[in-house]
């Protein structure tokens, strides 16, 4: 079994950051799902994207290790579509 690594995820809709302990073999889609759930953001996870080091992780079926995510990395989950400013 792979040891869990800590990752920090900022969820823009909740304007909150969560600390997750996940194995490097976790798919990016699972990280996103857990971060949204922990910040109580309702909605379809498909409506959100994950960014790491400023770039969107396009293939969310890739593992964290395959995406280059390391322990204590910071990621952000934000809406796929930009929100209008009022």
pLDDT in tens, the chain (86 residues): 568 999 999 999 999 999 999 999 999 999 999 999 999 999 899 999 999 999 999 999 999 999 999 999 999 999 998 766 77
In contact, 10 and 74? CB cutoff 8 Å: yes
Report the pLDDT value the prediction gives residue 40, as an integer from 0 to 100: 96
Report the pLDDT value the prediction gives residue 19, as an integer from 0 to 100: 97
In contact, 69 and 75? CB cutoff 8 Å: yes
Topology classification of domain 4-79? Ubiquitin-like (UB roll) (3.10.20)
């Amino acid at each position: 079994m792979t040891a869990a690594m800590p990752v920090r995820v900022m969820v823009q809709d909740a304007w909150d950051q969560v600390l997750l302990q996940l194995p490097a073999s976790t798919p990016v889609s699972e990280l996103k799902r857990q971060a949204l759930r922990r910040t109580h953001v309702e909605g379809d996870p498909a409506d959100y994207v994950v960014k790491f080091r400023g770039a969107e992780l396009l293939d969310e079926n890739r593992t964290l290790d395959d995406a280059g995510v390391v322990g204590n990395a910071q990621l952000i989950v934000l809406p796929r579509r930009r929100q209008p400013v009022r």
